[in-house]
Amino acid sequence: MEILFEDGQIAVIVKPAGMASQLTPRGNDCVTALRAHTGGEIFAVHRLDTPTTGVMVYAKTKKAAAFLSKEIAEGRFQKEYLALVHGRPEDPSGNMEDWLFKDARNKTYVVKRERKGVKKAILSYETLQTRADETYGTLSLVRIRLQTGRTHQIRVQFASRKMPVLGDGKYGAKDNAPFLGLACCRLTFRHPATGEEMTFTHMPAEFHEKAAGLAD
């Protein structure tokens, strides 16, 4: 687990793929690792799916956690993602809007209409590059901004349009890639104590191999 920034209020890390972002009974999670590193309390204020890597911020005090949670609720907390998806988006850039339903097995589906348990999901995207990969066929590198934060949102919305994320067997990819082609590449938020706007970026090594230089 790489630590990008740390002070008395927050810790900014790169969450490894395969490690849970929130506390788990077995302790294979970022909260437990950060507690061991700092010797103090750690508060999770947002999450990433376990197979997803990327930039995350954790609070080290209850006051900092409350501040960041409010920033998220009021839309001032910005997350950008990079995704390697199969195929090519019909439009180079645009929005995706869907109704999503999550079942008891923690799998999410696109449904046609609103009903109990169904939530609206909105994201915007920009296609950075599409090219033929010698192993996985046609892949597109897409930059994504979430306007809502639903479970598995990016993975489900692209898969429902026949563009599953590379390595995402749960949502239809049949490529057997050794990593999930999804990462939180940029995080922007205000510091809980100073109010200073801070931005942190990260490009996973696997993305360098498939799309070097496209995540600036």
Hunting for tokens 């009903």 — which residue is that?
A: 115
Q: How buried is 25 (Cβ within 10 angstroms: 0-12 exposed, 13-18 middle, 19+ buried)?
A: exposed
Which residues have C-beta within 8 Å of that of residue 141, sequence separation ≥ 6? 82, 83, 84, 127, 128, 129, 130, 207, 210, 211, 214
Cross-strand partners of 84: 141
Task: Read off φ and ψ for residue 108, nearest 5 degrees.
Answer: -110, 145
**Is 49 a catalytic site residue?**
yes
HSE-CB at 89 with a 13 A cutoff on CA atoms is 23
Say which of 29, 49, 98, 168 is annotated catalytic: 49
Q: Which two tokens stand for residue 159?
A: 């898969």
Catalytic residues: 49
